[in-house]
């Protein structure tokens, strides 16, 4: 990872390539932080990564905000054997749409997260125990205010741009409201100023899958344990909302899995990534009074889409905390700029940033009309705003995928 330094030369800017090896760092704020609900913690940590160099005037920074299941690792690799680069590696790097030869790019795991930033799984220094559900309820505004404290510590004097999709787009909007003079450009993709009932409903089903898992234990469980079945189910269902019917049908259709790839009872995933559930987890999936040796019907994996979803659930529980999932989905549900400020136009009254909003035609989680409503409200408030709607059948996650259209939009907006 590059430290803040002088801006690279023009010749260096012309060389396209990869960010390469990066190392996460921690910003530790010893000062107390008070949440929107009035509760406080005695300090917090944000884990982050940076790419490129901060210029002498501290105004070439581009902040990247991640979505619900994302984290601070948005570009580059952590080791030479790392097979999976950061989640937006296709967008960030030398010569790419977010050009690290020109910009100082930053991304932090949000407050309430579980990838190194302070959240429910962190240790409360006042008790020596994990916060669990004693952690204060977190909001999108809380996330942004902690990020501002972090950027100040790095010497960032203004944000050349702040970009993000989904929950990241909510943070983008909050940044331009909360610190209008600090943000020059705001780019929000596949997002909303407030979730509709359907999105809230999906989040609630996911939360209930976790809360009804006996291993949740009212939010108190050992590290590496907890409601693994409930969290996996929550992830499986949520992942469906990130895709589209057309993209799933094209990828999987009704293709059946090979016989040797079918899972045994008590297994979440198939193939090399499969992992048996623990005794308690497996028993929670069985029916009391039914002979497990000779069931009347079998419910192992038959279709490739089932195998894919089980893999998604299994991989998620190995990297995400169930309580963080509860907290962050609730933060998404409660984000409502119109209700908070009286109307969207009033919410955007103080915005100074030039704004680009991007919607995707096949996004049924945060559909195009919700993205369009943000742009229209900014226009009515007299702000500089553009709106782009991209025709794609890849669903909500379109903003994360390879797309020359997205690259051109981002590059043009930032330059």
Question: Annotated catalytic residue: which of 122, 244, 396, 398?
Answer: 396
Contact between residue 325 and residue 361 where contact means Cβ atoms under 8 Å apart: no
Question: Annotated catalytic residue: which of 166, 176, 284, 403?
Answer: 166
Beta bridge partners of 63: 106, 162
Active site (annotated) includes residue 166: yes
Within 8 A by CB and 6+ apart from 152, the residues are none
Strand duo 40-41 + 33-34: pairing:
antiparallel
CA separation for the pair 140, 106 (Å, rounded): 18
- H-helix or E-strand containing 10? helix 10-13
Within 8 A by CB and 6+ apart from 32, the residues are 40, 41, 42, 43
Contact between residue 76 and residue 22 where contact means Cβ atoms under 8 Å apart: yes
Query: Residue 265 corresponds to which tokens in the numbers above?
Result: 């009872």
Residue 386 burial by Cβ neighbours in a 10 Å radius (0-12, 13-18, 19+)? middle
Strand ranges inside 86-156, DSSP E: 92-93, 98-99, 104-108, 123-124, 129-130
Determine the angle formed by the axes of helices 140-154 and 322-334, rounding to 10 degrees. Answer: 100
CA separation for the pair 211, 281 (Å, rounded): 14
Active site (annotated) includes residue 6: no
Strand ranges inside 142-282, DSSP E: 159-165, 185-189
Active site (annotated) includes residue 73: no
Distances (CA, A) of 175 to 148, 185, 347, 387: 9, 10, 12, 18
Whose CA is closest to 370, among 206, 198, 252, 216?
198
Question: Annotated catalytic residue: which of 71, 213, 321, 363?
Answer: 363
Which of the residues are catalytic? 166, 363, 396
């Amino acid at each position: 990872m590059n430290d803040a330094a002088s801006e690279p030369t023009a010749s260096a800017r012309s060389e396209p390539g990869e960010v390469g090896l990066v190392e996460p760092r921690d910003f530790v704020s010893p000062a107390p932080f008070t949440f929107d609900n009035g509760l406080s913690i005695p300090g917090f940590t944000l884990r982050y990564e940076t790419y490129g160099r901060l210029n002498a005037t501290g105004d070439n920074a581009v902040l990247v905000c991640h979505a619900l299941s994302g984290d601070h690792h948005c570009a580059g690799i952590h080791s030479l054997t790392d097979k999976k680069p950061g989640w937006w590696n296709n967008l960030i790097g030398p010569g790419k749409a977010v050009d690290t030869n020109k910009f100082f790019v930053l991304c932090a795991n949000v407050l309430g997260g579980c990838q190194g930033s302070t959240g429910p799984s962190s240790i409360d220094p006042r008790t020596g125990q994990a916060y669990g559900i004693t952690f204060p309820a977190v909001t999108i505004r809380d996330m942004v205010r902690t990020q501002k404290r972090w950027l100040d510590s790095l010497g960032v004097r203004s944000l050349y741009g702040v970009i993000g999709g989904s929950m990241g787009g909510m943070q983008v909007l909050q940044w331009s409201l909360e610190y209008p003079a600090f943000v020059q450009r705001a780019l929000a993709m596949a997002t909303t100023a407030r979730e509709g009932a359907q999105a809230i409903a999906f989040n609630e089903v996911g939360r209930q899958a976790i809360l009804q898992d006996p291993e949740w234990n009212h939010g108190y469980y050992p590290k590496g344990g907890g409601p693994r079945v409930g969290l996996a189910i929550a992830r499986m269902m949520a992942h469906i909302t990130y895709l589209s019917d057309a993209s799933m049908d094209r990828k999987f259709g009704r293709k059946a899995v090979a016989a040797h790839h079918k899972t045994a009872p008590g297994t979440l995933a198939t193939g090399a990534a499969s992992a048996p559930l623990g005794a308690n987890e497996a028993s929670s999936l069985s029916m009391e009074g039914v002979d497990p040796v000779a069931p009347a019907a079998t419910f192992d994996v038959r279709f490739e889409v089932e195998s894919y979803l089980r893999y998604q659930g299994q991989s998620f529980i190995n990297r995400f905390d169930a309580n963080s999932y509860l907290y962050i989905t609730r933060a998404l549900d409660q984000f409502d700029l119109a209700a908070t400020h009286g109307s969207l136009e009033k919410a955007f009254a103080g915005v100074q940033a030039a704004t680009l909003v991007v919607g995707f035609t096949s996004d049924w989680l945060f559909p195009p009309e919700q993205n369009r409503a943000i742009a229209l409200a900014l226009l009515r408030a007299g702000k500089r705003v553009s709106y782009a709607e991209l025709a794609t059948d890849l669903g909500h996650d379109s903003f994360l995928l390879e797309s020359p259209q997205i690259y051109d939009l981002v590059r043009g907006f930032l330059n």
